[in-house]
């Protein structure tokens, strides 16, 4: 059974802190295994990747078959039913349109001293996108990672999508094609992350790696950060629904299960200002679990990590939500817009009872790669900016250097960095002698 809390109870604060502190990440010590895998791939390249793929995915490959050939991709894409193709095309169109609005602008100006200042944005040259393929294979993740990268202007884009036992999801390959990606490697796990970070004889090193994965993938991304950039370390999925009694309990129950069915370690929380409504939702969850296809995954998630929290009012609900800082936040209340303005920390907000989180996973437009484990307090979901970098630009004229250079010299001396100060002073002396090299 899920945890039932009421903010009027004397022990509420202690129990709520326990809820926040629940450890949902894998308990297995994966880091030591990942360290060895990364070292092996860095040293032996293709051979290590092939051996590890055979071991973990039961798939025998050669350097020539690490990636899908163009003919293989075409053959698999042809298997996609017309209605599924149309749905994926709609999703790609909406995701692209949303992310095109995120493109930042270069800036350039001349300040009061006459110095020319500004910045320019440019895309990373190459990126590797990880797409999960274990418990479930997600073509939507291809769109959410690859489209922002292409919009940003990334030139070289590859995907690693594990295919355990050689089973291919044609939708994943179609999503790659719709996103403008032709190179898809059928490898996964820590070995895929290591291959993209270090490069092998067949797989080129990339500049940035994005995309969610299991505990081994997360540990590998953490390990290779610095050699390459990464988007974030994603943990198990989570959803918080704030709902009043004027909702269908079954709707809310299904919304909670939409994340519970992802992973046994996923977390689904309901906050409501009506205790009886909370119990009706919990009952609806149990009823749905009787027939849900992925109940073997969703039931443990709801049992071990689910929670129903009753609060005095919606202002208190917003405050508790900020402490949870959920990956997904649904606001199913009368004035959802007003409540959304009171929330500071959330990866994504779904406003109103007609906006289920599942829309955001597929066709809403915003990215579904979002911060988990309370990291929405300090980070954002994947965007075009994750595939771009900002270069600052400065140009001094002699007049500008004369105006601000002495201050730089003083600060350099205060930090005992003599050469810093001399590099400015030598130019100031030339200006004082009447020289000007422009």
Options 76, 99, 261, 328, the catalytic residue: 328
The β-bridge partners of 39 are: none
The β-bridge partners of 156 are: 126
Find the DSSP H helices in 78-200. Answer: 82-100, 139-152, 170-178, 189-198
Nearest Cα residue to 191 out of 47, 386, 28: 47
Q: How far apart are CA 236 and CA 214, in angstroms?
A: 8
How many Å is the Cα radius of gyration of the chain?
26
290 by Cβ neighbours in 10 Å (0-12 / 13-18 / 19+) ranks as: exposed
Instruction: Indicate if 261 belongs to the active site.
Output: no
Options 264, 327, 330, 357, the catalytic residue: 327
State the angle between helix axes of 314-324 and 12-20 in degrees (0 to 180), rounded to the nearest 10.
Answer: 40
Instruction: Indicate if 409 belongs to the active site.
Output: no
Contact 104, 118 (CB under 8 A): no
305 by Cβ neighbours in 10 Å (0-12 / 13-18 / 19+) ranks as: buried
Q: How far apart are CA 373 and CA 327, in angstroms?
A: 8
Q: What separation in angstroms does the CA of 395 have from each of 31, 53, 105, 347, 427? A: 47, 52, 19, 39, 14
Nearest Cα residue to 188 out of 296, 383, 174, 169: 169
Strand order in the sheet with 107-110: 107-110, 116-123, 388-395
By annotation, the residues acting in catalysis are: 327-328
């Amino acid at each position: 059974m899920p945890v039932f809390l009421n903010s009027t109870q004397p022990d509420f604060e202690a129990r709520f802190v326990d809820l926040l502190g629940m450890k949902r990440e894998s308990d297995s010590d994966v880091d030591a295994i990942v360290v060895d895998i990364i070292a092996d791939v860095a040293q032996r390249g293709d051979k290590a990747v092939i051996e590890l793929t055979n071991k973990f995915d039961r798939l025998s490959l050669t350097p020539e078959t690490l990636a899908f050939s163009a003919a293989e991709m075409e053959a698999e894409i042809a298997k996609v039913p017309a209605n599924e193709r149309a749905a994926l095309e709609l999703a790609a169109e909406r995701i692209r349109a949303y992310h095109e609005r995120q493109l930042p602008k270069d800036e350039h100006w001349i300040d009061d001293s006459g110095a020319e200042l500004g910045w320019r944005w440019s895309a990373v040259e190459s990126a590797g996108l990880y797409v999960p393929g274990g418990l479930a294979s997600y073509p939507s993740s291809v769109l959410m990672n690859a489209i922002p990268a292409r919009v940003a202007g990334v030139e070289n884009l590859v995907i690693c999508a594990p295919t355990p036992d050689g089973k291919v999801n044609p939708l994943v390959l179609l999503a790659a094609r719709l996103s403008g990606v032709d190179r898809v490697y059928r490898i996964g796990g820590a070995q895929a992350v290591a291959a993209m970070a270090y490069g092998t004889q067949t797989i080129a090193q990339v500049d940035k790696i994005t995309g969610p994965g299991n505990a081994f993938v997360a540990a590998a991304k953490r390990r290779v950060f610095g050699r390459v950039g990464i988007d974030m370390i994603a943990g198990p999925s989570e959803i918080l629904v704030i709902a009043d009694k004027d909702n269908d309990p079954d709707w809310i129950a299904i919304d909670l299960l939409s994340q519970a069915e992802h992973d046994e370690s996923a977390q689904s929380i309901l906050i409501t200002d009506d205790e009886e409504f909370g119990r009706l939702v919990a009952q609806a969850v149990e009823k749905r679990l009787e027939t849900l296809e992925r109940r073997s995954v969703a039931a443990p998630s709801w049992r071990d990590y689910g929670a129903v929290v009753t609060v005095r009012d919606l202002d208190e609900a917003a405050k508790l939500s900020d402490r949870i800082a959920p990956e997904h936040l649904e606001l199913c209340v009368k004035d959802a817009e007003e409540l959304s303005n009171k929330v500071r920390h959330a990866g994504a907000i779904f406003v109103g009872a007609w906006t289920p989180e599942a829309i955001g996973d597929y066709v809403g437009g915003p990215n579904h790669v979002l911060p988990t484990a309370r990291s929405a307090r300090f980070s954002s979901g994947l965007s075009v900016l994750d595939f771009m970098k900002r270069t600052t630009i400065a140009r001094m004229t002699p007049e500008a250097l004369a105006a601000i250079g002495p201050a730089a010299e003083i600060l350099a001396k205060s930090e005992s960095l003599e050469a810093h100060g001399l590099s400015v002073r030598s130019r100031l002396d030339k200006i004082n002698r009447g020289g000007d090299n422009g």
